[in-house]
């Protein structure tokens, strides 16, 4: 009997203790105290896409480093759905204590909130930092008749011609790119061919089913090296590998640019002390040359941005897309 | 003979102790991933991707590839024993595999699946060694119009599956199509019948649907049956008999051919080829009535097909750098992270790696066979667990698996809803197999059709301009019309009788 009681008491004590630890930072309310013992428990980094993409890979590399520097496990959790909307919503609704984060990239920050009715605004979330941005360029087949962007534009502008543009399906950044190009040159004749994304778009171009497309480095760069894809126009602010090949940018030729930022997001109203701890840890991770090298394996443009910079950059992209989305009639309520 | 001497060098790489170990680890992990519903080879490979930073590229790619084909077999185990398809690629196996298990032939179903997987994997790898470059060219010719025609042919083969009435089957198939309409329109990007739900933006996930329709409904039905005290045979007999082998030989050969051929077609995925194999087996069988009642060909064909598909899908990856399926796309990522660029140059730049990985496909498929034949005896012990304990366990397993798909309780509700639907269908003797099939083929078919029409600017002649598509569509027409002469004959000779009800789920062993 005695042992049972003892065990029982010990068990109760352990339970109480663990409950106290678990609720410490959450129920405390005192942000400074919370920041002092942050992180108090394992951190979840939500990737709002299926496993295996470049954002997912970068998140896993980052988590691997954060685990060591923060001294708590960092679990990458894939919550796909709604082109990122479902996973980011999960984090939006989580406790703002720094233990639940999202690695968001591209459309969910800059396009989806403008084209799809969401129950929340991703831009209201706490921007912790940014690890990378996606680069984009316009490609044609290596065997095509168009050697330069001017060739392509001249052909596409002619009456009776129509370019087939391999898109990523739905409405995304690449649709905005083609629309911007068309507007800048005074009208292109083109029609979309919806694909599952960058990899399939490459196949459609190689097979001759599509004429052109705007693609990311992850999907396209290997084919540039083999000569099967010909890059004609860099549409993101920069893409060093293609710039070396003498590919012009859309900014210099046509005055538009496609920004595809990423951001590590936390729920709104994350105490700034905690945000700072996380931002510093992410900066340290990216200063580790080995970590940066692995992230560059995805061919994304890897580089640290502070939370404030990341938010400003995303807002800049968001605003620059608004007139095009409205002109295309793709905005909410149209 | 150049390829053969390179292959010998490849074996030297694949048989190094370290690489052998990687293949073994990959096979085991793949089986685990296959057994667990909700975690497929895609997630399995992606989660292990960071590991490749610390390993040498050849070893890691050997391991990741082994996860893929290991998962194809792992999915079979729960499908046959518990009627819980862990992967889409094993779903069709549930129809006859689970029936075989109920008839006490679980060991023989698992055995033939292991043997078929081995043969299929090896056959497709031989093809990869001998004919990769010409096949890769075919892959590029196979665009959306050809894919549409192929899927359409597949659908016609499936009509009449699992039911005494063609009309009931077609009704069920159309119902299945209705379930894949909600989601985000792939072309316009607008939400379609999502009723404002964020969860529905990506449509209904296939895994909880299939687990509900097949697994949960069966448990509900069995629980209900218990009251009327219908006993079933639950002992697990010996393994594969000579007769099993003889009966399955044709199905395994055809499965190898289908899997190898469709592996080079980009965008078809792992599941659709298994459906086509099943449909073909049923069509050409002299005893089609045995399908759905434990026909071993219904296990041997699809299970051979999915492993052949995996090896064959390496062909476009190696030769063109084109990922034929989402899983292969992640494998492509593993190449890129390690600074390797798949494509024709890879054969000359990294011959050790390419041929090492190809040789490992032979070695890994053998490992899988050697590992699994003795393990079958262990697996079938699951059937010895009393039902009052086993059924709740399976249900917990299914709920967990549905939740894992996108970590959302929504998918658990989908599982329960489709479980009830499947249960009702069983009571009413309404066929559910066509629902499952059109749920898989429907989205592929829609995408191929719309892409074809986008390519042609709306002209339907895009299907006639392609010789491959035309041939496939004519074949589909012939399949659709083939029962007509016999029906007309019967109509005029004697009044049509309904065939006796052959959907007793607990038919005694024949």
pLDDT in tens, chain B (510 residues): 477 888 899 999 999 999 999 999 999 999 888 887 767 787 788 777 767 777 888 998 899 999 988 988 888 998 898 888 867 788 889 889 988 988 889 999 999 999 999 999 999 999 988 888 788 777 788 889 999 999 888 888 776 565 667 788 888 888 999 998 888 777 776 778 888 777 787 788 887 888 898 889 988 988 887 654 444 445 555 678 889 999 999 999 999 999 999 988 877 888 889 988 998 898 888 888 888 889 999 999 999 999 999 999 888 888 877 777 778 877 877 777 777 777 767 777 888 888 999 999 999 999 999 988 888 888 888 888 888 888 888 888 888 888 877 777 898 999 999 999 999 998 998 888 888 888 888 888 888 999 999 888 888 888 988 899 999 999 988 888 877 777 777 777 655 555 444 444 444 443
Is the CB of B203 inside 8 Å of chain A's CB atoms?
no
Whether B143 and chain A come into contact, CB under 8 Å, resolves to yes
Chain A contacts in chain B segment 391-410 (CB below 8 A):
406-408
Predicted local confidence at residue B350, as pLDDT: 84
- Count the alpha carbons within 13 Å of B418 in the hemisphere toward its beta carbon: 28
Residue of chain A whose alpha carbon sits nearest to that of B406: A79
Which of A169, A225, A298 lies closest to B341 in CB terms? A225
For A102, A215, A229, B6, B460, the CA distances from B454, given in Å and listed in that order, are 36, 19, 22, 43, 10
Residues A42, A75: contact at Cβ < 8 Å? yes
**A156 and B414 Cβ atoms separated by less than 8 Å:** no
Residue A25 reports pLDDT greater than 50: no
Interchain contact, B198 vs A294, CB within 8 Å: no
Closest CA to A258 of A120, A82, A110, A115: A110
Q: Which two tokens stand for residue B124?
A: 């497709």
B279, B281, B287, B290: CA torsion to nearest 10: -70
Of B43, B47, B406, the CB nearest to A81: B406
The CA distance from A51 to the nearest CA of chain B, in Å, is 5
For B194, name the nearest residue in chain A, comparing CA atoms only.
A82
User: What pLDDT digit, counting tens, does each position of B262-320 carry?
Assistant: 988 877 888 889 988 998 898 888 888 888 889 999 999 999 999 999 999 888 888 87
Please judge whether A117 and B343 are an interchain contact, meaning their C-beta atoms are less than 8 angstroms apart.
no
**Residue B113 vs residues B36, B266, B298, B360: alpha-carbon distances, Å:** 18, 25, 10, 20
With beta carbons less than 8 A apart as the criterion, state whether B376 and B244 touch: no
Rounded distance, CA B111 to CA B369, Å? 9
Chain A residues in contact with B337 by the CB 8 A cut-off are: 57, 294, 297-298
Pairwise CA distance, residues A124 & A135, whole Å: 25
Going across the sheet that includes A126-133, the strands are: A74-78, A43-47, A100-105, A262-266, A126-133, A301-306
Tokens of B13: 């790489």
Q: Rounded mean pLDDT of A205-220?
A: 89
The distance in angstroms from the start CA to the end CA of chain B is: 49
Chain A's closest residue to B336, CA to CA, is A297
Write phi, then psi, for B157 (nearest 5 degrees).
Answer: -65, -30
Q: What are phi and psi of B9, to 5 degrees?
A: -60, -40
Interface of B with A in 52-71 (CB under 8 A): 53
- pLDDT at residue B443 in the model: 86
Residue of B nearest to A162 (CA): B457
* Yes or no, beta carbons of B406 and A202 under 8 Å apart: no
**Residue B341 contacts A where some CB pair is shorter than 8 Å:** yes
Alpha-carbon gap, residue B338 to B61, rounded angstroms: 10
CB-CB: which of A203, A207, A298 is closest to B337? A298
- The pLDDT of residue A33 is 61
Sign of CA dihedral A100, A105, A111, A112: negative
Nearest chain B Cα to A46, which residue?
A: B407
Q: Mark yes or no for CB contact B321/A226 under 8 Å.
A: yes
For an interface test with A, give the residue of B321, B340, B453 to mutate (most A CBs within 10 A).
Answer: B321
Distance CA A251, CA A237 (A): 7
pLDDT number for residue A333:
57
Asked if B189 reaches chain A (Cβ–Cβ under 8 Å), the answer is: yes
Question: Using an 8 Å Cβ cutoff, are A80 and A88 in contact?
Answer: no
Per-residue pLDDT tens over the stretch A169-202: 777 888 899 999 999 999 999 998 988 777 788 8
- Of B45, B143, B187, which is closest to A194 when you measure between CB atoms? B187
In this complex, the residue of B186, B201, B322 whose CB is nearest that of residue A85 is: B201
How close does chain A come to B52, measured CA to CA in Å?
A: 10
| Closest residue on chain A to B47 (Cα) | A51
Which residues in chain B have Cβ-Cβ distances shorter than 8 Å to A297?
336-339
Alpha-carbon distance of B63 to B65, in angstroms, equals 5
Comparing CA positions, the residue from B79, B34, B37, B29 lying closest to residue B206 is B37
Kindly determine whether residue A82 and residue B201, on different chains, have CB atoms separated by under 8 Å.
Answer: yes
Rounded CA-CA distance B336/A222 in Å is 8
How many CB contacts within 8 angstroms connect chain A with chain B?
A: 148
Task: Kindly list the residues from chain A whose CB atom is less than 8 angstroms away from the CB atom of residue B323.
Answer: 199
- Measure the CA–CA gap between B158 and B151, rounded to whole angstroms: 11
Name the burial class of residue B484, with classes exposed (0-12), middle (13-18) and buried (19+) by CB atoms within 10 angstroms of its CB.
Answer: exposed
Q: Which chain A residues contact residue B332 at CB under 8 A?
A: 199
Is residue B191 helix, strand or coil? strand
State how far residue B146 is from chain A, nearest Cα, in angstroms: 12
C-beta atoms of B455 and A228 within 8 A: no
Under 8 Å between Cβ of A277 and A38: yes
Q: A152 vs B168, which has greater pLDDT?
A: A152
Nearest to B435 by CA among B145, B169, B182: B169
The ipTM of this complex is 0.73
3-state secondary structure (DSSP) of residue B49: helix
As to burial, measured by CB atoms within 10 angstroms (0-12 exposed, 13-18 middle, 19+ buried), residue A328 is middle
Exposure of A7 by Cβ count < 10 A (0-12 exposed, 13-18 middle, 19+ buried)?
Answer: exposed
B326 and A78: CB-CB below 8 Å?
no
- Contact between A82 and B189 using a beta-carbon 8 Å cutoff: no
Q: How far is A224 from chain B (nearest CA, A)?
A: 11
- Interchain pair A194, B343: CB under 8 A: no
Contacts of A82 in chain B (CB under 8 A): 184, 198, 201-202
SS (H, E, C) chain A: CHHHHHHHHHHHHHHHHHHHHHHHHHHHCCHHHHHHCCCCCCEEEEECCCCCCHHHHHHHHHHHHHHHHHCCCEEEEECCCHHHHHHHHHHHCCCCCCCEEEEEECHHHHCHHHHCCCCCCHHHCEEEEEEEECCEEEEEECCCCCCCHHHHHHHHHCCCCCEEEEECCCCCHHHHHHHHHHHHCCCCCEEEEECCCHHHHHHHHHCCCCCEEEEEHHHHHHHHHHCCEEEEEECCCCCHHHHHCCCCEHHHHHCCCCCCEEEEEECCCCCHHHHHHHHHHHHHHHHCHHHHHHHHCCCCEEEEEEHHHHHHHHHHHHHHHHHHHHHCCCCCCC
Contact B426, B216 (CB under 8 A): no
- B450 touches A at CB < 8 Å: yes
Stated length of chain A:
334
Nearest CB among A162, A206, A222 relative to B336 is that of: A222
Cβ atoms B184, B446 nearer than 8 A: no
Domains of chain A (ranges; CATH) run 42-134+260-327 (3.40.190.150), 136-254 (3.40.190.10)
Query: Of B136, B349, B444, B454, which to mutate for an interface test with A (greatest number of A Cβ within 10 Å)?
Result: B454
Q: Residue B126: which residues within 8 A CB-CB, separation 6 or more?
A: none
Which residue in this structure is represented by tokens 């920004």?
A259
Whether residues B42 and A50 touch (CB distance < 8 A) is answered with yes
Q: Cβ distance B360 to B62 under 8 Å?
A: yes
* Interface contact flag, A226 B407, Cβ < 8 Å: no
Farthest-apart Cα atoms in chain B, separation: 74
**B42, B201, B455 member nearest A209 (Cβ):** B455
Instruction: Choose among A127, A192, A142, A196: nearest CA to A168.
Output: A196
**Cβ contacts of A57 on chain B, cutoff 8 Å:** 49-50, 333, 337
């Amino acid at each position: 009997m005695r042992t049972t009681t003892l065990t029982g008491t010990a068990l109760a004590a352990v339970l109480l203790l663990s409950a106290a630890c678990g609720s410490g930072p959450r129920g405390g309310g005192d942000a400074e105290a919370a920041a002092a013992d942050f992180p108090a428990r394992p951190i979840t980094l939500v990737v709002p896409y299926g496993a295996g993409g470049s954002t997912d890979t970068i998140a896993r590399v980052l988590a691997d480093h954060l685990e060591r520097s923060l001294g708590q496990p960092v679990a990458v959790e894939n919550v796909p759905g709604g082109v990122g909307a479902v996973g980011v919503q999960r984090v939006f609704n989580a406790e703002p204590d720094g233990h639940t984060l999202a690695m968001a990239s591209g459309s969910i920050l800059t396009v989806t909130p403008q084209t799809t009715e969401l129950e929340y605004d991703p831009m209201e979330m706490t921007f912790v930092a940014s690890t990378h941005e996606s680069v984009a360029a316009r490609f044609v087949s290596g065997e095509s008749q168009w050697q330069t962007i001017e060739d392509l534009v001249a052909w596409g502008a002619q009456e009776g011609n129509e370019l087939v543009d391999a898109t990523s399906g739905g409405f995304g950044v690449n649709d905005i790119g083609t629309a911007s190009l068309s507007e800048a040159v005074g009208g292109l004749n083109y029609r979309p061919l919806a694909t599952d994304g960058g990899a399939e778009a490459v196949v459609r171009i190689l097979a001759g089913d599509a004429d052109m497309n705007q693609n990311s480095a992850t999907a396209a760069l290997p084919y540039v090296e083999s000569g099967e894809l010909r890059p004609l126009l860099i549409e993101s602010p920069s893409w060093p590998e293609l710039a070396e090949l003498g590919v012009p940018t859309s900014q210099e030729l046509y005055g538009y640019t496609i920004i595809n930022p990423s951001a590590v997001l936390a729920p709104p109203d994350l105490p700034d002390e905690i945000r700072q701890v996380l931002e510093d840890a992410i900066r340290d991770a990216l200063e580790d040359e080995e970590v940066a090298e692995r992230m560059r394996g995805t061919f994304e443009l890897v580089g640290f941005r502070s939370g404030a910079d990341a938010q400003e950059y995303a807002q800049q992209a968001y605003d620059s897309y608004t007139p095009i989305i409205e002109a295309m009639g793709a905005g909410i309520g149209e | 003979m150049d390829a053969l001497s390179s292959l010998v060098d490849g074996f030297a790489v694949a048989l190094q102790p370290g690489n052998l170990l990687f293949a073994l680890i990959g096979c085991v992990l793949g089986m685990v991933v296959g057994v667990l519903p909700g975690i497929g080879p895609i997630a399995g490979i992606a989660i292990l991707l960071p590991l490749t930073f610390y390993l040498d590229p050849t070893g890691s790619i050997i391991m990741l590839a082994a996860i893929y084909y290991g998962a194809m077999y792992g999915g079979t185990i729960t499908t046959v024993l518990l009627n819980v398809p862990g992967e889409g690629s094993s779903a069709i196996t549930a129809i006859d595999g689970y029936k075989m298990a109920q008839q006490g032939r679980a060991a023989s179903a698992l055995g033939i699946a292991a043997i078929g997987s081995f043969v299929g994997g090896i056959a497709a790898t031989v093809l990869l060694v001998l004919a990769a470059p010409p096949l890769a060219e075919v892959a590029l010719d196979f665009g959306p119009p050809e894919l549409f025609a192929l899927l359409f042919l597949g659908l016609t083969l499936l009509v009449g599956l699992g039911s005494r009435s063609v009309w009931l089957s077609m009704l069920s198939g159309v119902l299945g199509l209705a379930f894949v309409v909600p989601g985000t329109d792939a072309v316009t990007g607008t939400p379609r019948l999502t009723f404002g739900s964020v969860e529905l933006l990506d449509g209904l996930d296939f895994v909880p649907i299939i687990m509900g329709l097949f697994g949960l409904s069966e448990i509900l039905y069995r629980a209900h049956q218990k009251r009327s005290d219908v006993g079933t045979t639950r002992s697990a007999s010996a393994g594969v008999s000579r007769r099993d082998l003889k009966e399955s030989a044709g199905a395994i050969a055809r499965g190898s051919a289908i899997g190898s051929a469709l592996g080079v077609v980009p965008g078809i995925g792992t599941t659709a080829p298994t459906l086509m194999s099943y449909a073909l087996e049923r069509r050409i069988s002299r005893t089609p009535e045995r399908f759905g009642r434990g026909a071993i060909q219904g296990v041997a064909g699809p299970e051979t097909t999915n492993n052949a598909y995996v090896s064959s899908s390496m062909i476009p990856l190696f030769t063109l750098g084109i990922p034929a399926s989402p899983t292969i796309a992640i494998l492509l990522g593993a190449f890129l992270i390690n600074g390797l660029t798949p494509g024709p140059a890879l054969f000359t730049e990294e011959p050790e790696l390419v041929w090492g990985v190809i040789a490992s496909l032979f070695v890994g498929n053998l490992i899988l066979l050697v590992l699994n034949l003795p393990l079958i005896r262990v697996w079938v012990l699951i059937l010895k667990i009393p039902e009052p304990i086993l059924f709740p366990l399976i249900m917990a397993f299914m709920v967990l698996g549905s939740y894992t798909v996108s970590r959302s309780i929504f998918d658990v509700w989908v599982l329960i809803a489709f479980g009830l639907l499947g249960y009702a269908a069983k009571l009413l003797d309404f066929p559910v197999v066509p629902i499952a099939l059109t749920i898989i083929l429907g989205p592929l078919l829609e995408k191929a059709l719309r892409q074809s029409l986008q390519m042609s600017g709306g002209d339907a002649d895009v299907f006639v301009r392609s010789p491959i598509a035309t041939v496939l569509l004519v074949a589909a027409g012939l399949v659709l019309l083939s029962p007509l002469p016999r029906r007309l004959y019967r109509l005029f000779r004697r009044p049509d009788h309904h065939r006796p009800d052959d959907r007793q789920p607990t038919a005694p062993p024949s």
